[in-house]
Amino acid sequence: MQLLNFKTGINFGTNGNLREFSPAGLSPTPDEVSSWSEASVAEVTFRLPPLRHDLRFVVEVFPYLVDGLLNQQNCWVFFNGLFVHYQTVRTPVEMIFTVSRDLLNPRANRLAFALPDAISPSQLNVGDDMRMLGLSFVKISAGPPRAEPPSGSP
């Protein structure tokens, strides 16, 4: 199982390192910069170095939308089976959330994205693609939480 490198993260494009992270529910044929989810749950698995702090994730995604038929994708994020974040995705976005260090495992860690609105273009009669598209993942980055600016700062 691959150690998550905080400098490189997980890249989902054709030249990325996604395959090293035991992906499930993600297309095995990425496009140039991203990989589509192709199921109602997409996940990656990784090891972490020993940490003495919480872990901040930044997940770059863009949604599968169809004008007049599908205007958003809802995404529930789970870390090692526990809920950590929810976001409605209507445009390309960075989903940012922090996982408590109490949830981090020195062995295997699983980051899962539940996508209840994932649907195939063929089900919407807008194409022949049978994959259950929800989000296209570009990159997952992780590192220590950033300090928040003091209240009242510009």
Residue-wise pLDDT for 107-152, tens only, equals 899 999 999 999 999 999 999 999 999 999 999 999 998 755 555 5
> 73-93 pLDDT, tens per residue?
999 999 999 999 999 999 999
Work out the pLDDT band at 106, boundaries 50, 70, 90: confident
What does the pLDDT average to over 13-33? 96
Residue 154 domain flag: no
- Predicted pLDDT of residue 151: 53
Residue 150 domain flag: no
CATH code, 40: 2.60.120.260
pTM metric for this prediction: 0.92
Q: Backbone dihedral region of 68: left (phi > 0), alpha (psi from -120 to 50 degrees) or beta?
A: left
Work out the pLDDT band at 1, boundaries 50, 70, 90: confident
- Greater confidence (153 vs 44) lies with 44
Residue 84 domain flag: yes
> 29-51 pLDDT, tens per residue?
999 999 999 999 999 999 999 89
Tokens read off for 30: 């990425």
Work out the pLDDT band at 153, boundaries 50, 70, 90: very low
Residue 23 domain flag: yes
- Predicted pLDDT of residue 148: 55
- CA–CA separation, 56 and 145 (whole Å): 5
End-to-end CA, the chain: 43
Tokens read off for 130: 């049978």
Residue 6 domain flag: no
Residue 129 domain flag: yes
- Predicted pLDDT of residue 59: 98
Residue 9 domain flag: no
Q: Where are the beta strands (DSSP E) in the chain?
A: 10-11, 35-36, 41-46, 55-63, 73-79, 82-89, 93-99, 109-114, 135-143
Domain limits at 41? Answer: 15-138
Domain count for the chain: 1
* Residues 58/96, Cβ–Cβ less than 8 Å: yes
